Amino acid sequence: MKNKTNYIWHNGKFVHWDEAKIHVLTHSLHYGAATFEGIRCYNTDRGPAVFRLRDHFKRLFYSASVIDMKIPYSLEELETATLDLISKNKITECYIRPIAYYGYGKMGVNPQGAPVEIAIACWGWDKYMTHKLVDMKTNKYIRIPSVVSITDAKLSGNYLNSILGILQLQGTDYHETLFLDLNGNIAEGAAENIFFIKNGVLHTPKLGGILAGITRDTVMTLAKKMGLKVIEAKLSLQEAYLADEAFLTGTAIEIKPIRSIDDKIIGKGETGIITIDLQQSYLEVVHGKNKDFFHYLAFLK
Ligand code: PMP
């Protein structure tokens, strides 16, 4: 893998990157009952700081609870492990990937009785998507409805739906897939939440059948602080096509403007002015340039 670092934290120990291994009969590898996070660390004037570390680990514990997984570390221990890992890897900006999984010990679909293991890795991952603007295509698969799985938990198995959606883009010029829900309303991207702006008002699908994105929450907070109205509601595809601006949000992708959906150009087909303001404001916050949001930052010790 590109950009690998020296160490991975695995079950309480720092091990060399190439030694962080698991058995092929690891339970979660077979049945998908694992939970992971995607977190970013940014450089600031006061040194590297992890953005909303506590919120990410809270979500990890929530996701673990829905599959009856008892993580054998406290939230504080995992926070410390993450910060120490970044220091030990001598990296100032990175993507951080914790994963908690059912390990090796038993087979059969029921995970109860398999050991719970956890690893945290970090590496430099500058751009998740290199295009400045995203062309999206609606998916023939719908987002997993909440009567089928628990979609507000970040469970590995839920990503099969995302993978099937992304694979449909092969051989096309689209960059990202757009999932609709069971009723044909907008849900989210394969690994991003979505926002639309119409007449200066932000619209985003309400929680329920989507991941409660931490970037989504940050963007809503920033928008309200900027005096913008934010509406969380059902959104039809027709409304989406007619938006003035649209963008995706996610820890990896940050705030990414959308140029088109299903070949219909959104607004002027360029990054909208409100999107630019939000992007700028987001980057200031994560880089520790806005003291009102210092509480979002976990500095290395
Ligand atoms: N939806 C899905 C399905 C995702 O995988 C992600 C990435 N974690 C998001 C939304 C955005 O979440 P966040 O802003 O917390 O990274």
The mean pLDDT of 75-98, rounded to a whole number, is 98
Residue 215 · residue 255 · CB < 8 Å: yes
Is the pLDDT reported for residue 13 higher than 90? yes
Residue boundaries of the structural domains of the chain = 7-123, 134-286
Reduced to 3 states, what is the DSSP secondary structure of residue 30?
helix
In single-letter form, the type of residue at position 183 comes to N
Does residue 188's CB lie within 6 angstroms of at least one atom of ligand 1?
yes
Question: Which of ligand 1's atoms lies nearest the C-alpha of 37?
Answer: 8
Atom 12 of ligand 1: nearest residue by CA position: 213
Atom 2 of ligand 1: nearest residue by CA position: 191
For the chain, the 3-state helix, strand and coil shares in percent, each to the nearest 5, are 30, 30, 40
Per-residue pLDDT, 15: 98
* Mean pLDDT (the chain, rounded): 97
Q: What is the pLDDT of residues 117-150, one digit of tens each?
A: 999 999 998 888 888 999 999 999 999 999 999 9
Q: Which residues contact 60 (CB under 8 A, 6 or more apart)?
A: 35, 36, 37, 71, 78, 98, 100, 154
| Ligand 1 center to 65 CA (angstroms) | 18
Distance in angstroms (rounded) separating the CA atoms of residues 224 and 188: 21
Mutate to test the pocket of ligand 1, among 192, 217, 254, 282 (most ligand atoms within 8 A of CB): 192
Distance in angstroms (rounded) separating the CA atoms of residues 192 and 95: 16
Atom 9 of ligand 1: nearest residue by CA position: 192
The mean pLDDT of 202-228, rounded to a whole number, is 97
- What is the second-level CATH architecture of the domain 134-286? Alpha-Beta Barrel (3.20)
Does residue 156's CB lie within 6 angstroms of at least one atom of ligand 1?
no
Query: Which pair of tokens denotes residue 201?
Result: 């008002």
13 as an active site residue: the answer is no
Per-residue pLDDT, 129: 83
Q: What is the pLDDT of residues 255-270, one digit of tens each?
A: 999 999 999 999 999 9
Distance in angstroms (rounded) separating the CA atoms of residues 25 and 111: 12
Distances (CA, A) of 227 to 200, 224, 243: 10, 5, 19
Distance in angstroms (rounded) separating the CA atoms of residues 204 and 197: 9
Instruction: Place 219 in a pLDDT band, splitting at 50, 70 and 90.
Output: very high
Confirm whether 7-123 and 134-286 share one CATH topology.
no
Distance in angstroms (rounded) separating the CA atoms of residues 298 and 285: 12
**Selection from 168, 194, 169, 201 nearest residue 180 by Cα:** 194
Distance in angstroms (rounded) separating the CA atoms of residues 53 and 38: 10
Instruction: Place 32 in a pLDDT band, splitting at 50, 70 and 90.
Output: very high
Write the CATH number of the domain with boundaries 7-123: 3.30.470.10
The mean pLDDT of 164-183, rounded to a whole number, is 97
| Ligand 1 center to 211 CA (angstroms) | 6
Q: Which helix (H) or strand (E) holds 196?
A: strand 193-198
Active-site entry in 154, 198, 256, 264: 154
Per-residue pLDDT, 101: 98
Please give the model's pTM, rounded to 2 decimal places.
Answer: 0.97
Does residue 165's CB lie within 6 angstroms of at least one atom of ligand 1?
no
Is the pLDDT reported for residue 2 higher than 90? no
